[in-house]
Structure 1
Amino acid sequence: MATERYNPRALEPKWQKAWDAKKLFEADNDDPRPKYYVLEMFPYPSGRIHIGHTRNYTMGDVVARYKRAKGFNVLHPMGWDAFGMPAENAAMQNKVHPKDWTYQNIAAMREQLKVMGLSLDWAREFATCDVDYYHRQQMLFLDFVEKRLVTRKSSKVNWDPEDMTVLANEQVIDGRGWRSGALVEQRELTQWFFKITDYAQDLLDSLEGLNEWPEKVKLMQANWIGRSEGLLIRWPLATPVDGEDELEVYTTRPDTIFGASFMAVAADHPLAKKAAESNPALAKFIDEVRHMGTSVAALETAEKRGFDTGIRVVHPFDEAWTLPVYVANFVLMEYGTGAIFGCPSGDQRDLDFANRYGLPVIPVVMPEGENQGNFQIIDEAYVGDGVMINSRFLDGMKPDQAFDEVAKLLEQKTIGNRPVAERKVNFRLRDWGISRQRYWGCPIPMIHCEDCGVVPVPKADLPVRLPDDIEFDRPGNPLDRHPTWRHVKCPQCGKDARRETDTMDTFVDSSWYFARFTAPWANDPTDPKAATEWLPVDQYIGGIEHAILHLLYSRFFTRAMRETGHVDLAEPFRGLFTQGMVVHETYRVGSGSNSRWLAPSEVRLEDVDGNRRAIEIATGEEAVIGPLEKMSKSKKNTVSPEEITDGYGADTARWFMLSDSPPERDVEWTDEGAAGAHRFIQRIWRLVSTAAESLAGIQPAAAREGEAGTVSKAAHKALKSVGEDIEKLAFNRAIARIYELANALTTPLNEAAEGKADPALKAACRQAVDILVHLIAPVMPHLAEECWQTLGGTDLVAERPWPVYDPSLVVDSEIVLPVQVNGKKRGDLTIARDADQGAVEKAVLALDFVQKALEGKAPRKVIIVPQRIVNVVA
């Protein structure tokens, strides 16, 4: 009879070596079993695995182990999203080469992941900075060029003059670079773009078919694509400006045209530039606008400012009505035509602007039933539906009717033999700019020749390798300063030329890695046969923060790869699951500029009269306990997976990560929770190891009667439920079922260990404990293996099939019916499931609480809803 405690530090490495020795997790493309591909979003090699990674990868691992046991050929690979600015920053700060920094981090993180006991196919591992990988990415780029899916054009970008690189909108904070703090400039740069807009409608329409994606993610993508139906209206200029005689405006609300009180154009609009040539004050204003962030958040929070150009436009329905044209800081050249007409009564932004500059506010849509004499707009725009007012011939119409009427009339009017307006579909989505002015990225395989223009590098000359001998002694792109790398002969004319020194956006690297995993040894980017057999990914798991860019870019890439013959599908991911974050409360001592954040390991938690206190261990000072927040290095509320695995083992971390809350919700990491998970592991070990000797040599068999029958029913019900829950990714529910089964088996297994069980109970207990071991295996694989070996198993649980439940044992022979009297529940009736209505009525009327309610009288009626409820009408 085993009495020793389970020792994860000694036993977990033993089972990891056993799995590796048999190469259990290496997928074979030629395996005839049905294929199943599960993938978690691969990590950036920062050097440390955090607890959020642990939760993410454990979820994928549970699915992989379960599907493997269910008879699937499972592909569960791991790689590294390895290019990016952090490596260059480390190179500048620590005088280390980005390649060395990256590969050192990969080595450290690989070992951390292996400690978690993940069933990963390490034979397919790659990093996106591997030459083999970015070589194939360059091949894809050239194929996209050939299919005209790549373009090179001038675009306005956020330029950090200190770091000398382009910043994404999200990296501009209060007008300054997120890293350098320098004032950001708006610059026109010629850049490379992927023509994702060619697929805008398809990307939108196809969302409907993604039935296994969260609705929230699909809505976020739909909003990002931003399809709108509107009207392109040409507004005549009252006086032409340098040959320009009209201003084009795209609007989705032409019905509000009689509420227009101003026009606004972007700072980069041609009309603004022409007006600024003779107006220094306007030129200064435009320069100020260019230093403002262009993200949606920046535009929404910035003060609405404008500058009257002095230019006026003529209203399309009234030649005597002119409106001023402003340059405004909230209008972007990238959206629509870079010009709007402002209707203050129907748009809050326009109303704020109009109130600031004393412009008219004309209500044009009023709620139905409202008194027009009392309806006015002062500080809050009306954006709801209703009826048209103050709109001449549109009065009384609904807004959608007015839309059609305005469109019809303006399509009939002409300016210079062209209609004043035309219906148009517009998309918020813009082409994907992939140029980055940095070293640590995939080189763009193009060459600039003065005679031939921009020409592709021949595929035979690929890969274009990053040079190793670079210097980070000053800001900017080291490739621009390299003495030899950028100089090359033109492949067409043979004359001196120069390489493209921009590298690709790192989102490119992660937009097709899932396809490369299907055959990472292939000479081409993919092996089309393998890609067809494995894709789409059956279950993709990652954070909601990637709902738009990464997932949308991957959907585009798959379509582009289909056009170039690399894959034969459009959607890369069949099922998508976005897990919640791991959160932890914060601890802070001091105040103001002297305040400090403390790590959980630096505080001691106390309970004083029911109040929790946090005490800094080093000083004894009481810390303020803050709210639960996403773990972050800046607030030090992080927990290293190694802290858990060193103390409790990997299975404890895996179990707790999945047991505490539904996987789509945030999970609060607590030491108490981890300790509780570890106690359960010890409990399972005691249950199994204590009974193992008495169950040795016992043939497993199910029972249907008596205590043995109760054991078998509990085991088979758990087996059915856990399988269904894992299929639904309801891991916390699966774990709750395992807890229930452990509770149900405690007494009978102890009886077996003490020699008190009859043969039927022993056989039922043996089968039930076998089932228990298999149920815990996806979540706690090391413990499952040790338990199986203790029970006499000679093979590995990781290679055993999932048990099959007996349908006759999962159906209850009894049912519990709620019993109401006059519609109010008074109690329950437990009765045989197959009892007829006469037997149910007789049993109900015999219940004490029913007799008491009837007060000795016969009921007027007994209503029985079979197997649902009984209502006695007194």
Structure 2
Amino acid sequence: MTHEERYNPQAIEEKWQARWQAENAFACSHDSNKPKYYVLEMFPYPSGNIHMGHVRNYSIGDVVARSKRMQGFNVMHPMGWDAFGLPAENAAIKNNTHPAEWTYANISNMRTQLKRLGYSYDWSRELATCRPEYYRWEQMFFLRLLEKGMVYRKKAPQNWCPSCHTVLANEQVIDGLCWRCDSPVVQKDLTQWFLKITAYGDELLEDLAKLEGGWPDRVIAMQRNWIGKSTGASISFGLEKAIKGIEGIDVFTTRPDTVFGVTFMTLAPEHPLVEKLIEGYPKAEEVRAFVERIRNMDRLDRQSDAVEKEGIFTGAYAIHPFTGQRVPLWLGNFVLADYGTGAVMGVPAHDQRDFEFARKYGLPLHVVINPAGEALDPETMTEAFTGDGVMVNSGPFDGMPNDDGKKAVAQSLEKQGKGKATTQFRLRDWNISRQRYWGSPIPIIYCDQCGIVPEKEENLPVLLPLDVKTHSDGRSPLADTPSFAHCTCPTCGGPARRETDTMDTFVESSWYFARFTSARDSEAPFNIEAIKYWLPVDQYIGGVEHAILHLLYSRFFTKLLRDMGFFPAELAEPFSNLLTQGMVLKDGGKMSKSKGNVVDPTAMIKKYGADTVRLFCLFAAPAERDFDWSDSGIEGASRFIGRVWRLFSEEQERLLPIKACASTEQDAVSSEARDLRRREHLTVKKSREDMGDRFQFNTAIAAVMELVNSMYLSREKLGMDEADRRVFSSAMSTVITLLSPIIPHVCDELWERLGHSTPVSDELWPDWSQAATAQDMLTVALQVNGKLRGTVEIPAEADKAAMEATALADSAVQRHLAGLTVRKVVVVPGKLVNIVAN
């Protein structure tokens, strides 16, 4: 390298990317004797272009992957494409092209962009969820789960997005809006396929404890809240007017101790018994109008404390399980059909919502729990009493502490066959049917003779036809495609029709991390030995917006696949550690085309090079924090790489082809050499802690920047003898080695120019020496009566007596002590000496 040669990122980066690709440099095998490390970023939806959020996410993952390789791990770092779903279909329709053509073109473009950033992916494991060789296994899982009763079909009110023309799972409705297009979600009665995630409610909740310390606390809290386990009792209330086939109405309550305080019951307007209950009721039409109005209300509003509670009497009555009294049946806007049993008991004296409802509609209050030493009067109560106390007006339970009463009431109900102690979850079963085209076909056939018939496994995959024309309004064309919809029944051989709903795209993303372990296996979805070796994922990286949706579903699928025998019995969780990276903002806001504040990664790479873009994204803020993109920030990152390049260029004659931390104590003869060697080892220590343990890349980079500054300062003081050259060369090798996971192209180039025949990425992370970090001399502050009067250099090993003697002998201190008597000497080892005198 000549002094005049300028740093040319484009040429250097293209050179090394071509070499990495030719050498398949980052491929891995699961039969290695080295300990494994599986690092994975949440795979992208192929939108067409990567954005700065992608760059930050994948740069974090790449630094983890590269640094772990250098720490001796066998690293798997794969990449794939979350390629099915609404976004691709909607974008393709908008651009008047086929979703498959749109998706594969975008994948090709984004793959090129990711390679241009130099990420160390094992591209031999690349997968796309829209390929038949991927979704055939998903269809197999569906059939196996159907056999086990973990998949079922039912008709019920569903979240319907009129804009996307499809249903949504509860988790996909955010504040009453579609998670994809922000359209208001309405309720629609549909027959759909469901996965029984509630069967794993307890395990999903309990296993969150295994993730503590590895996952962010707020993500664990969000999942715990979403699962929402409640302990209580189910209670059956008989019906005054018999309905054929119905013995009564069941409710769930966390407060069975208040059952004697029930004065009404409230049902969801969508409850399946409503029509039967209002039969013959003179005000039936008023009830139907109420039902129609409420069912289209926002689900979250209906559960919100801020929304006024509304209700209407059905004209029907239930029978109290203990007293035999008539209990009026009301409908309420705050009860949801798919939450619990769709019915709740009204205890207005001891539940604030019920209290407000009863006062509004003139319903009575019965006090059944008194605070200790008090007797509540229902006529004068201004709010419900919800605290602990003593049971009253409760028959055989009078005088019992209400906490004991919960268990006693549940036991009594069970003896009578009218209820039992139980638990309930907020979590609902997962609706996986989607009324859209671009997704995995559900392998079900409907036959007029045989009913619902599963496709045979040997006939999988059920291929999604690609020779269809999508509808401009987003409706699925599958029902209108005879070659797909019409088929033969596998059981009787007669004419039949296929299921034309496709699977929710979150099904595909719930197991992709496992498929990466044996991505090319055509005989099975997974190789069990590969699963045992690679899973769980050691470090998962992605946005907190997936805290419930994707992460909950992936945890669920891990347990499902374990219980189906695809995973080993000991595998309970998919991701040991989770890092939720912050967003990249511009001008304080989220980047968006509508705001005109998008920073294009391709343009930045063209101007500064991939290494500079990577460096800025990692240096701007801690990984989990948001940061604001700034032109001055990326300019600073570019200048720093330029400084390293110039330092190498200008000092190349001094440099020897030695490795990081290769200089010895015998080499560091002068104080300047010892100081530089000390700074080198301190930098290695900090980088190891910050990059290897805490993923605090910004502080690790800052430490290397300080080392580079020290090298610039020391080069004028160091000679060209062998010892000084070894100290300086060792420091330069350390800079290159520590920066190589962050800015790999320029570091590989400098390492090669230093004279090494193997790439720096093959180096082990350097070890630092405790002895090398010790200081020879320390600067100690000298004070008289608390005021600084000078400083002095003393040996690092000097004890308190030596420090005191040195301070008292100092000429400046002696001047300020003239005429005074020393009363006390305070010594802070290694820092200061304060002489108190008067």
Which stretch of the first structure deviates more once superposed, 226-235 or 468-477? 468-477
- List gaps (5 residues or longer) in structure 1: 586-627
- 2:484 alignment partner, SS class: coil
| One-letter amino acid of the counterpart of residue 707, structure 1 | E
Q: Out of 195, 208, 232, which is 2:234 matched to?
A: 232
Answer yes or no: is the 8 Å Cα contact 2:13–2:745 preserved in 1: yes
How far apart are the structure 2 equivalents of 1:392 and 1:689?
A: 90
Residue 573 of structure 2 corresponds to which residue in structure 1?
571
What does 1:350-429 correspond to in 2, within 5 Å? 350=354, 353-354=357-358, 356-357=360-361, 387=389, 401-409=401-409, 411-412=411-412, 418-429=416-427
Deviations 1:767-809 (A, max 9, x none): 0000000111111111212322333334322333322223321
Q: 1:381 to 1:516 in 2, by over 3 A?
A: same
How far apart are the structure 2 equivalents of 1:827 and 1:869?
A: 10
Answer yes or no: is the 8 Å Cα contact 2:339–2:426 preserved in 1: yes
- 1:518 alignment partner, SS class: helix
> CA offset at residue 120 of structure 1?
1.0
Which stretch of the first structure deviates more once superposed, 722-731 or 268-277? 268-277
What does 1:79-478 correspond to in 2, within 5 Å? 79-160=80-161, 164-169=165-170, 185-210=186-211, 211-235=213-237, 246-257=248-259, 262-277=264-279, 278=281, 279-295=284-300, 299=304, 302-313=307-318, 324-343=328-347, 349-350=353-354, 353-354=357-358, 356-357=360-361, 387=389, 401-409=401-409, 411-412=411-412, 418-473=416-471, 475=473, 476-478=475-477
| One-letter amino acid of the counterpart of residue 146, structure 1 | E
How far apart are the structure 2 equivalents of 1:844 and 1:364?
A: 80
> CA offset at residue 39 of structure 1?
0.6
| One-letter amino acid of the counterpart of residue 268, structure 1 | E
Answer yes or no: is the 8 Å Cα contact 2:172–2:549 preserved in 1: no
Q: 1:473 to 1:413 in 2, by over 3 A?
A: closer
Q: 1:37 to 1:826 in 2, by over 3 A?
A: farther
How far apart are the structure 2 equivalents of 1:433 and 1:656?
A: 42
What does 1:514-529 correspond to in 2, within 5 Å? 514-523=513-522, 524-529=524-529
Q: 1:836 to 1:312 in 2, by over 3 A?
A: farther
Residue 716 of structure 1 corresponds to which residue in structure 2?
681
Does 1:651 pair with 2:611?
Answer: yes
> CA offset at residue 141 of structure 1?
2.4
Residue 554 of structure 2 corresponds to which residue in structure 1?
554
Does 1:733 pair with 2:695?
Answer: no
- List gaps (5 residues or longer) in structure 2: none
Answer yes or no: is the 8 Å Cα contact 1:232–1:423 preserved in 2: yes
> CA offset at residue 825 of structure 1?
13
Answer yes or no: is the 8 Å Cα contact 2:55–2:601 preserved in 1: yes
Deviations 1:517-569 (A, max 9, x none): 11111021011111211111111111111111211211121222222232212
> CA offset at residue 855 of structure 1?
7.4
Residue 506 of structure 2 corresponds to which residue in structure 1?
507
Q: 1:646 to 1:259 in 2, by over 3 A?
A: farther
Deviations 1:689-717 (A, max 9, x none): 21112225689523455111111111111
Residue 531 of structure 1 corresponds to which residue in structure 2?
531
Residue 614 of structure 1 corresponds to which residue in structure 2?
none
Which stretch of the first structure deviates more once superposed, 150-159 or 824-833? 824-833
Which stretch of the first structure deviates more once superposed, 521-530 or 486-495? 486-495
How far apart are the structure 2 equivalents of 1:695 and 1:245?
A: 89
Answer yes or no: is the 8 Å Cα contact 2:36–2:534 preserved in 1: yes
Residue 492 of structure 1 corresponds to which residue in structure 2?
491
| One-letter amino acid of the counterpart of residue 802, structure 1 | W
How far apart are the structure 2 equivalents of 1:576 and 1:174?
A: 26
> CA offset at residue 236 of structure 1?
5.0
Residue 42 of structure 1 corresponds to which residue in structure 2?
43
Q: 1:10 to 1:365 in 2, by over 3 A?
A: farther
| One-letter amino acid of the counterpart of residue 722, structure 1 | S
Which stretch of the first structure deviates more once superposed, 304-313 or 105-114? 304-313
How far apart are the structure 1 equivalents of 2:378 and 2:320?
A: 27
What does 1:746-785 correspond to in 2, within 5 Å? 746-751=712-717, 756-785=719-748
Answer yes or no: is the 8 Å Cα contact 2:118–2:610 preserved in 1: yes
How far apart are the structure 2 equivalents of 1:289 and 1:826?
A: 80
Answer yes or no: is the 8 Å Cα contact 1:172–1:293 preserved in 2: no
> CA offset at residue 391 of structure 1?
7.2
Answer yes or no: is the 8 Å Cα contact 2:538–2:575 preserved in 1: yes
How far apart are the structure 2 equivalents of 1:166 and 1:316?
A: 39
Q: 1:395 to 1:744 in 2, by over 3 A?
A: farther
Answer yes or no: is the 8 Å Cα contact 1:38–1:75 preserved in 2: yes
How far apart are the structure 2 equivalents of 1:522 and 1:769?
A: 45
Does 1:745 pair with 2:708?
Answer: no
> CA offset at residue 238 of structure 1?
6.1
Answer yes or no: is the 8 Å Cα contact 2:433–2:502 preserved in 1: yes
Answer yes or no: is the 8 Å Cα contact 2:657–2:754 preserved in 1: no
How far apart are the structure 2 equivalents of 1:422 and 1:53?
A: 51
How far apart are the structure 2 equivalents of 1:825 and 1:296?
A: 66
Residue 607 of structure 1 corresponds to which residue in structure 2?
none
- CA RMSD between the two structures: 4.1
| One-letter amino acid of the counterpart of residue 101, structure 1 | W
How far apart are the structure 1 equivalents of 2:219 and 2:38?
A: 21
Q: Out of 579, 595, 599, which is 1:635 matched to?
A: 595
Deviations 1:433-485 (A, max 9, x none): 21111111011122222233322222221111111221223642211111221
- 1:537 alignment partner, SS class: coil
> CA offset at residue 163 of structure 1?
5.2
Answer yes or no: is the 8 Å Cα contact 1:434–1:505 preserved in 2: yes
Deviations 1:705-734 (A, max 9, x none): 511111111111111211221122111121
> CA offset at residue 812 of structure 1?
4.8
Answer yes or no: is the 8 Å Cα contact 1:817–1:830 preserved in 2: yes
Q: 1:717 to 1:497 in 2, by over 3 A?
A: same
> CA offset at residue 143 of structure 1?
2.9
Residue 663 of structure 2 corresponds to which residue in structure 1?
701
Answer yes or no: is the 8 Å Cα contact 2:510–2:557 preserved in 1: yes
> CA offset at residue 181 of structure 1?
9.1
Does 1:544 pair with 2:510?
Answer: no
What does 1:856-871 correspond to in 2, within 5 Å? 856=821, 858-859=823-824
How far apart are the structure 2 equivalents of 1:388 and 1:819?
A: 72
Scaled by the length of structure 1, what TM-score is found?
A: 0.84
Q: 1:102 to 1:701 in 2, by over 3 A?
A: same
Answer yes or no: is the 8 Å Cα contact 1:773–1:787 preserved in 2: yes
| One-letter amino acid of the counterpart of residue 544, structure 2 | I
How far apart are the structure 2 equivalents of 1:202 and 1:410?
A: 24
Answer yes or no: is the 8 Å Cα contact 1:239–1:245 preserved in 2: no
How far apart are the structure 2 equivalents of 1:205 and 1:685?
A: 53
Q: 1:317 to 1:473 in 2, by over 3 A?
A: closer
Which stretch of the first structure deviates more once superposed, 489-498 or 763-772? 489-498
Answer yes or no: is the 8 Å Cα contact 1:582–1:668 preserved in 2: yes
- 2:119 alignment partner, SS class: coil
How far apart are the structure 2 equivalents of 1:138 and 1:437?
A: 17
Residue 625 of structure 1 corresponds to which residue in structure 2?
none
Residue 619 of structure 1 corresponds to which residue in structure 2?
none
How far apart are the structure 2 equivalents of 1:60 and 1:646?
A: 22
Identity over aligned pairs, percent = 46
How far apart are the structure 1 equivalents of 2:196 and 2:215?
A: 25
Residue 592 of structure 1 corresponds to which residue in structure 2?
none
Number of residue pairs the alignment of both structures matches: 819
Answer yes or no: is the 8 Å Cα contact 2:38–2:534 preserved in 1: yes
